[in-house]
Structure 1
Amino acid sequence: MSSSTSTDSQQTAIFLHIHKTAGTTLHAILRRQYDEAEVYNIDAKGHDYHHFIKLSQSEYAKIRLLKGHMNYRLHSFLPQPATYFTFLREPIERVISYYYFIRRTPRHLHHQAANALSLYEFASQQIDPLMANGQTRQLAGGYPKYDFGDEADALLNKAKQHLQAHFAVVGLTERFDESLMMLQQAFNWHHVWYQRQNVGSNRPKQEELSSKTIAYLKKLNQTDEALYAYGRSLFEAQIAEQGSHFPRRVQIFRLLNRFTQPYWHLRQFSLRVWLRSLQTS
């Protein structure tokens, strides 16, 4: 799909949020674009996949935005047309970030295991399948086994086909602002200023990890490496469709977005102060 023109306003937008691809930052932007009653969020608070598939046709029809950590295919439940968007991330950076996210998130299913094991040990013991080709898993529609084995090429082709045919925008985490500008145009969004959220501060840089660990993560994520290369080619094609003035638009947006940062800091400070006052009252 092309992002050079806006999508049909009657279509439901589906944000397929791949773990650790800047989705938390985007969720904050999305809250300003859609009424809460028109949004269905796949999360861990009761609105999970099992709840979603039990909705009535009238409930499905009300959804203008479906978002969250999900596998491709939930559009098949909707009676109205739908189009997807997502962000891809360089695979080794993503799995490193994901592992350290688990370590600092007590509510995560694998929190204790991640804190008891090194990154290499956690990945090699096959505890969490999203450590191995997690982006391909979600975009192909899900795959339960840790090792793709002989099915790697078929799953990769399926994920590529989905990206090419059913995604209005394929963004890249490493090029967030350009991706956001294309999303704004494709879905007619407004007020897309932002401050980065949920940025991991407890993780080492890739070059600080052992060569053994990096080599093993690359072996685990060969299919994701190929998918990411394909996603980059789609991204560059989308950029080309924006025209010669697009780089200037992105530059202006970045400049203006810097001026909003004091506002975000003030909001965070005010929230912290309010929370402290509740604790001491």
Structure 2
Amino acid sequence: MERHIIQEFMSDNNPQIYQHWQQRSDQENLDHNRQRLAQLVINFENASSETRVVYSHIPKNAGTTLEYILSKNQRLSDVLHVNAPDLNKQPDLLNLKKNSARLICGHHPMHGLLYQLLSDEPLIHMTMLRNPLDRVISYYNYISGNQQHPFHEAVSDMPIDAFIEHPQLTEISNGQAKRLSGYLHSNDSYDEDVLFATAKKVLEQCFTVVLITEQFNQSLLILQKMLNLQDIYYLPHNQSTKRIEKTHLTPQQQKRILQRNTVDERLHTHFQEQFIQLCQQHLPENALETFQQRQQQWRALQNT
């Protein structure tokens, strides 16, 4: 979409913001967004149900299910789901609702336009990390089973070994850290220690809470406490058809995936340890067991 067409959709302030964002490099936009979010994002202890929420959804990290749970605890008019490619084409999507959205969800890298279009109101900023081995397998299954994905035709008949090494699929090689560090769309080489340090600092300075896919139910309990959520029961959404499972991979294949995701593995391990500490501090000892029992009862009712 040409810029003059895009500007037809914009409010008075958005054209200049969009043009500045477009003219900067990804790293410059990352630095700009980091400085802005460091001022806007509130910490866990100060979070409340009245605070605006932005959920930065990293693909294949159980984010669609989480979006569903967050959304059903809000009025429909207060929820906006928009991914970065659509927002880049129509930046004024944030202003289409009568009142500003209280929950914004979607795939947005940290150098993205969204963070420059947000108002100066305080916000809760959250994301979810996943073990990279499981994430890559899920991504492979997702593309293989989704005919709408641009790489579906190439991947549908591709063995997992070729998929692991695919040069154009940036998500399968430290994709989580790249999203957080301004490298998602870059072909430049990077130092893994620098990538880890940058992503770690971004998560520490620009996010209220970092959730963990493997502790999904605990993540819901933490959000319930933080946002006073009334309904956190769920059925899984957007699950990939399982073409392969982890047990189908040889030790060499699993090792190769982890070799290509050493930064993501370090990032996941670090923040999983922090998340476990957060749960120990804020959740009663039997909270998970009680939730799992009620979740089973809720699911049984859905099947009657």
Q: TM-score under structure 1 normalisation?
A: 0.83
Shift of 1:2: 5.1
Partner of 2:109: 71
Distance 1:71 1:94, change over 3 A: same
Determine if the alignment matches structure 1 residue 13 to structure 2 residue 53: yes
Partner of 1:261: 299
Root-mean-square deviation (CA, aligned residues, Å) is: 2.5
Give the counterpart of 2:170 among 126, 129, 133.
129
Give the counterpart of 2:74 among 5, 10, 34.
34
- Higher deviation after alignment, 219-228 or 30-39: 30-39
- Higher deviation after alignment, 173-182 or 256-265: 256-265
Contact 2:65 2:234 in 1 (8 A): yes
Q: Deviations over 1:12-42 (max 9, x none)?
A: 2111111111112112212211222222212
Partner of 2:180: 139
* Displaced runs of 4 or more, over 4 A: 55-61
- After superposition, residues 143-158 of structure 1 pair within 5 angstroms as 143-145=184-186, 149-158=189-198
Partner of 2:148: 107
- The number of residues matched between the two structures is 260
Distance 1:167 1:208, change over 3 A: same
Distance 1:155 1:53, change over 3 A: farther
**Distance in 2 between residues matched to 1:62 and 1:55, nearest whole Å:** 11
Give the counterpart of 1:97 among 138, 153, 157.
138
Shift of 1:252: 0.9
Shift of 1:100: 0.7
Partner of 1:272: none
**Distance in 1 between residues matched to 2:148 and 2:94, nearest whole Å:** 31
Partner of 1:229: 269
- Unpaired runs of 5+ residues, structure 2, are 1-41
Shift of 1:258: 0.7
Shift of 1:210: 2.5
Shift of 1:192: 0.8
Q: TM-score under structure 2 normalisation?
A: 0.77
- Unpaired runs of 5+ residues, structure 1, are 267-281
The code of the aligned residue for 1:18 comes to I
**Distance in 1 between residues matched to 2:175 and 2:99, nearest whole Å:** 30
Q: Deviations over 1:214-238 (max 9, x none)?
A: 2221121111011111211221231
**Distance in 2 between residues matched to 1:78 and 1:43, nearest whole Å:** 14
Partner of 2:242: 202
Distance 1:223 1:61, change over 3 A: farther
Shift of 1:254: 1.0
Contact 2:53 2:125 in 1 (8 A): yes
Contact 1:83 1:166 in 2 (8 A): no
Partner of 1:177: 217
Shift of 1:60: 10
Give the counterpart of 1:161 among 201, 210, 213.
201
